[in-house]
Amino acid sequence: KLEQLLILPKVMFYFWGNFQEALEHLASIDLIELCNEAKVEHCRATRDLRSCGRNVQSVLNSCGHASLCEECSQRCDICPFCRVPIPKNGSRLRLRLYYECIEAGLISKRYDDRFQEKDDGDRQQTADVQRLYSLFDVAMENNLVSLICHYITDVCMDESAVSSDPVVAFLLDEVVVKDWCKRTFKIILTELQGIYSLTVLKMKDRMSSLLKSSVKLAGISNVLEVLESSFKGSFSAHFKDLHHLQESVSKTKQMIASKLVIIPLNNSYCMLQIPDEITNVDLKLCLKVKKAVTWLKSMHMEMILWCLKHQFLENIRSWHSNFTSWRSIFRERKSAAIKHSWPDSINHPMESTGPGGSTLFIEDALSNIDVEQEYTRETGDESEIASLQKEGGSSFFRSKIEGMAGCYPFEHLRDAIDILFLRGSSDMVVAKHAIFLYYLYDRHWPLPDEKWRYVIDDFAATFSITRHSLLESLTFYLLDNNTDEAMQEACRLLPEISGPTTHPKVSQVLLERENPDAALMVLRWSGRDGGAQLVSLGEAVTAVRVRVECGLLTEAFMYQRMLCTKVKEKKLRHESSRDSSVELKEEGQTL
């Protein structure tokens, strides 16, 4: 045993040395040679050794060609490729990069083909691709993702990087990298499916695996960014249109990100759509995988990691006794909202997003996400990462039957994460965080702050959520809550969150809950009470009613007259411009 303990450090040092040398070789290799290192080579010994054909594990130090196996290199004097003499003294061979990684333990022994018999051409090409994939895997596992990115830009996109060897020519194509991204992403999905099916305690034991998967997804995302740029480089008109579309989407994302902090979203969001006329399958697949990677990395996995940190809130009890009572309370809130709503809101369904009148803030928010989800289904852009969703909960089945709005309240925390963050677009992540906050407030608000407030604070710190957004989500919950205590707390928070971005429905709810003074102050703070700009009919009616309820009859009359004047002026401008266009058209026909 003592001898074994003395030998162990030497063995560890040996493998660590091989590990370092293999990584240094991979990091410093000329990328054009990477495909040559991955290619399966057979011994080219001739004459009396014509029938050798063994796999070549090493290259000749004299010329760098992988032309002879270890046994034949001791018998030959020159390289069969270039005819350069092989020195008789010193080391004649050095391991090829692929086998060097195997010796260092960076590639599994099961990929070692040194004892495999010679295969046919198709199998050999498959082996070459798998070996290149293995080298890419080593790069990703050891924070060398930039090597894969440079392989795309310096090799795949280099028009001078060509080869008469069909196998090497195939390895020089960016399609190989695209297929590697797809294959690696599927492997990660399979691993995550196994982890997500575990219990909370067992899942927490696999925290390191989740973090490792998150790093891998970040690497794949970076590779896809570079790979996408290689397709954009085409001068095709379709690709040019896609470039402009992606720029528009990027700007829309920035615009939405600044507005989605309000839970009831306006119907003015956009998502990445690939035009039907684009027939390049590789480009479509690249963008689809990229979207799926971003979806999973930036949303669901981060939420799972946060919930594991807090053990899925199993140690923090809800103020609701059970799910049935919670759902009953939620129905009472909706009934109270419909009861308090103004008659005109019910008589004009076009002004209401709900099926039976006034809806709650949370229903508006979930309905907006549901609309986007329906759009995703229609365009056939369903992602296979939906398989990560844990089925079995009633919320899951209700979301399929009744839609997103019908699945609230979520039965379990995991249901909330799966329903919100495995559906829809990653562009709506800010809105989904706001909905999740609403859910946390609804679960804990009446309890003392010291028992649950730290969870909210940690969520805000983890996902960079501002205090304004936190208070806004809380206010929306309080306004949905039909108790007097909740209304008093909401009125206390309104001065801090009210501003130009305040949703118009806040004033409407305050008015319906018989708080016209608070509704008037929200209108003043929002800057939309002067009539200087046109608003929707519902907002205009709310503004007039607020003034009437506050006894400001003259101001209400002046406000409605100013809006009516602006509407008439706009109508006249529209008619005059239409008449001018008709006259120009008639003159053109006369000429």
pLDDT digits (tens, 9 = 90+) for 216-245: 888 888 888 787 776 655 544 434 433 433
pLDDT value of residue 375: 43
Pairs from 313-322 (Cβ < 8 Å, separation ≥ 24): 313/413, 313/443, 313/455, 314/200, 316/444, 316/451, 316/452, 316/455, 317/447, 318/443, 318/444, 319/443, 319/444, 319/445, 319/446, 319/447, 320/443
Task: Assess contact for 445 and 476: CB atoms under 8 A.
Answer: no
Give the DSSP H or E segment for 121: helix 121-141
pLDDT value of residue 588: 46
For residue 355, pLDDT beyond 70: no
Q: Give Cβ neighbours of residue 229 (< 8 Å, ≥ 6 apart).
A: none
For residue 520, pLDDT beyond 70: yes
Helix/strand/coil for 445: coil
Give the DSSP H or E segment for 68: none
Write phi, then psi, for 89 (nearest 5 degrees): -105, 155
- Least confident window among 253-262, 546-555, 563-572: 253-262
Burial grade of 406 (CB within 10 A; 0-12, 13-18, 19 or more): middle
What is the per-residue pLDDT across 138-163, written as a single tens digit (0 to 9) for each? 999 998 989 998 998 888 888 888 77
pLDDT value of residue 12: 43
pLDDT value of residue 254: 34
| Integer Cα distance of 298 and 278 in angstroms | 27
For residue 442, pLDDT beyond 90: yes
Provide the pLDDT confidence category of residue 268 given band limits of 50, 70 and 90.
Answer: very low
pLDDT value of residue 6: 40
pLDDT value of residue 517: 92
Task: Assess contact for 371 and 364: CB atoms under 8 A.
Answer: no
Residues 117-122, mean pLDDT to the nearest whole number: 50
pLDDT value of residue 279: 40
Helix/strand/coil for 346: helix
What is the per-residue pLDDT across 208-218, written as a single tens digit (0 to 9) for each? 888 888 888 88
Q: Is the alpha carbon torsion for 427, 430, 435, 437 positive or negative?
A: positive
Q: Is the alpha carbon torsion for 110, 112, 115, 119 positive or negative?
A: positive
| Integer Cα distance of 151 and 135 in angstroms | 12
Q: What is the dihedral of CA 573, 576, 580, 582, to 10 degrees?
A: 120
For residue 20, pLDDT beyond 70: yes
Neighbours of 67 (CB within 10 A): 22
- Chain length of the chain: 591
| Integer Cα distance of 428 and 591 in angstroms | 53
Q: What is the dihedral of CA 331, 334, 336, 340, to 10 degrees?
A: -170
Provide the pLDDT confidence category of residue 274 given band limits of 50, 70 and 90.
Answer: very low
pLDDT value of residue 460: 92
Among 280, 221, 275, 207, which Cα is nearest to 244's?
Answer: 275
For residue 582, pLDDT beyond 70: no
Provide the pLDDT confidence category of residue 579 given band limits of 50, 70 and 90.
Answer: low
pLDDT value of residue 276: 38
DSSP string, 369-413: HHHHHHHHHHTT---GGGGGS---SHHHHHHHHH-SGGGPSPSSH
Q: Which two structure tokens, joined as six digits, stand for 373?
A: 């989800």
Could you give the angle at which helices 453-462 and 467-480 cross, rounded to 10 degrees?
130
pLDDT value of residue 270: 31
More confident residue, 363 or 125: 363
More confident residue, 491 or 54: 491
- Least confident window among 154-163, 165-174, 578-587: 578-587
Residues 444-466, mean pLDDT to the nearest whole number: 91
| Integer Cα distance of 157 and 48 in angstroms | 43
pLDDT value of residue 164: 79
pLDDT value of residue 266: 35
For residue 566, pLDDT beyond 60: yes
Among 499, 517, 519, 501, which Cα is nearest to 509's?
Answer: 519
More confident residue, 534 or 391: 534
Provide the pLDDT confidence category of residue 48 given band limits of 50, 70 and 90.
Answer: low
For residue 103, pLDDT beyond 80: yes
Please, where are the H alpha helices in 513-552? 516-526, 537-549
Q: What is the dihedral of CA 484, 487, 459, 394, to 10 degrees?
A: 60
For residue 24, pLDDT beyond 70: yes
Local structure of residue 159 (DSSP, 8 states): T
Residues 265-269, mean pLDDT to the nearest whole number: 32
- Neighbouring-strand partners of residue 93: 60
Of all residues in the chain, the percent with pLDDT exceeding 70 is 69
Of all residues in the chain, the percent with pLDDT exceeding 90 is 16
Q: Which of 16-30, 234-248, 368-382, 455-469 has the highest mean pLDDT?
A: 455-469
| Integer Cα distance of 36 and 59 in angstroms | 11
Residue 29 Cα distances to 38, 51, 135, 433, angstroms? 12, 32, 12, 44
| Integer Cα distance of 212 and 496 in angstroms | 41
Among 289, 214, 246, 256, which Cα is nearest to 432's?
Answer: 256
pLDDT value of residue 147: 92
- Least confident window among 144-148, 166-170, 526-530: 526-530
| Integer Cα distance of 187 and 250 in angstroms | 29
Provide the pLDDT confidence category of residue 580 given band limits of 50, 70 and 90.
Answer: low
Q: Which two structure tokens, joined as six digits, stand for 50?
A: 């014509």
What is the per-residue pLDDT across 307-354, written as a single tens digit (0 to 9) for each? 888 888 988 889 999 999 999 999 999 999 888 887 654 344 434 444
Global pTM reads 0.65
Residue 409: asked if its preceding bond is cis (omega within 30°), the reply is yes
Residues 392-404, mean pLDDT to the nearest whole number: 59
| Integer Cα distance of 196 and 386 in angstroms | 12
CA angle at residue 106 from 100 to 108, to 5 degrees? 100
- What is the residue whose two structure tokens read 């891998």? 216
Burial grade of 390 (CB within 10 A; 0-12, 13-18, 19 or more): middle
| Integer Cα distance of 373 and 390 in angstroms | 18
| Integer Cα distance of 155 and 408 in angstroms | 51
Averaged pLDDT of the chain: 75
Provide the pLDDT confidence category of residue 441 given band limits of 50, 70 and 90.
Answer: very high
